[in-house]
Amino acid sequence: MSIAMPAAPLVRIINVWKRRGQNLVLKGVDLDAGRGQVVCLLGPSGAGKSTLLRCINALEVADRGTVEVDGAIIGCAMKDGKLYRMRESEVSRQRADIGMVFQNFNLFPHMSVMDNITDAPMRVRGESRAVARDRAQDLLGRVGLAHKADSFPRHLSGGQQQRIAIARALAMSPKLMLFDEPTSALDPHLVGEVLDVIKDLAATGMTMIIVTHEVQFAREIADVAAIMANGVIIEAGEAKEVLTQPSHPISRAFLARSLREGH
């Protein structure tokens, strides 16, 4: 439209469809995330939020449509105007630049905290042990667990494990962070410490897409909020508007219920 192009969004999700068994879990989803933006995905369970998030790093590959991160189509290659699925080894190169934090932490139980964090930088990026360990120690300090480097995940609380998982993802210096309900598996009194780490991260300008049930948290942190239901985004826009004055009746009902439940 104009000659001075606005910076292209870091993430572009364009008309993504996904079928699982008999069900269509994603029915033509479009969503953008600008550089440095925090996008929160909310909505009732079964809406397709996690599936959409997992399409962004190709843990699941969409049946139709494209996901672009930093201008590159994820998990597929365009050839003669047609999309072909990439080989896993090629996808892994793309995934290295996209951090992901899971609901169940998924730390590697057979490795110490330090090895959990340094393994991928050394093995995937080819960093030296010394460099990787230095940065791991920095990151552990940032998430407030500098003294836990030699512990094993099983001996840490859920909140500590999730903070380690965030440090592990950050160790790859990702250009994008994905969070899949990062506090849903935590005891209520441990939720705060994980949310604080995510808030700190948002303040550094990291681009983040967060699937969450914590409406209050989303209000504080999100630039953009998108509400999903039944495989489509029913409402998206500036977080303050969407999360305080939703226009769609389903979003209204969802937000009212979430706030009543004390989230």
Partner 1 sequence: MHDGAGLPRDMAQAPEVLAPAHVGRWFGVLFVGLIGAWILHQLLTNPGFQWLVVAQFMLDRRVLAGIGMTLELTVLVMLIGAVLGIVVAVMRLSADPLLGLCAHAFVWFFRGTPVLIQLVFWYNLASLFPELSIGIPFGGPKFYEISATVAISSFTAALLGLGLNEGAYMAEIIRAGLLSVDPGQGEASKALGHRPFQTFRVIVLPQAMKAIVPPTGNQVIGMLKYTSIASVVSLQELMHSVEDIYNRNFETIPLLIVAALWYLILVTILSVGQAYIEKYYSRGWTNSAPAAA
**102 contacts partner 1 (rule: CB under 8 A):** yes
Shortest Cβ 101–partner 1 spacing (Å): 9
Q: How many CB atoms lie within 10 A of CB 250?
A: 17
Q: Is 57 in the site for partner 1 (CB under 8 A)?
A: yes
Q: Is 166 helix (H, G, I), strand (E, B) or coil?
A: helix
Q: For 34-130, where are the E strands, in sequence order? A: 38-42, 64-69, 72-73, 76-79, 82-85, 98-101
Residue 209 β-bridge partners: 39, 178
Is 173 a binding residue for partner 1 by CB under 8 A? The answer is no
- Give the number of other Cβ atoms within 10 Å of residue 128's Cβ: 10
Amino acid identity, position 209: I
Q: Does 151 bind partner 1 (CB under 8 A)?
A: yes
CB of 135 to partner 1, least distance (A): 14
Q: Which candidate, 166, 211, 192, 184, places its Cα nearest to that of 39? A: 211
64 or 85: CB nearest partner 1: 85
Determine which residue in the list 30, 32, 68, 119 makes contact with partner 1, applying CB under 8 A: 119
Q: Residue 176 or 236: which CB sits closer to partner 1?
A: 176
Q: Does residue 144 contact residue 113 with C-beta atoms inside 8 Å?
A: no
Nearer to partner 1 among residue 24 and residue 111 (C-beta): 111
Q: Report the half-sphere exposure of 225 (CA within 13 A, side-chain side).
A: 25
Closer residue to partner 1, CB minimum distance, 198 or 233: 198
- Between residue 234 and residue 263, which ones bind partner 1 under the rule CB under 8 A? none
Shortest Å distance, C-beta 92 to partner 1: 5
Pick 57 or 258: Cβ nearer partner 1: 57
Beta sheet of 98-101, edge-to-edge order:
98-101, 176-180, 208-211, 38-42, 224-229, 232-238
Q: Is 164 in the site for partner 1 (CB under 8 A)?
A: no
Among 9, 99, 231, 246, binds partner 1 (CB under 8 A): 99
- If the CB atoms of residues 119 and 223 are measured against partner 1, the closer one turns out to be 119
**Cα 125 → chain centroid:** 21
At its nearest, how many Å lie between partner 1 and the CB of residue 72?
14
In the complex, the residues that contact partner 1 under the rule CB under 8 A are: 57, 59, 88-89, 92-93, 95-100, 102, 104, 106-112, 119-120, 123-125, 151-157, 160, 165, 168-169, 172
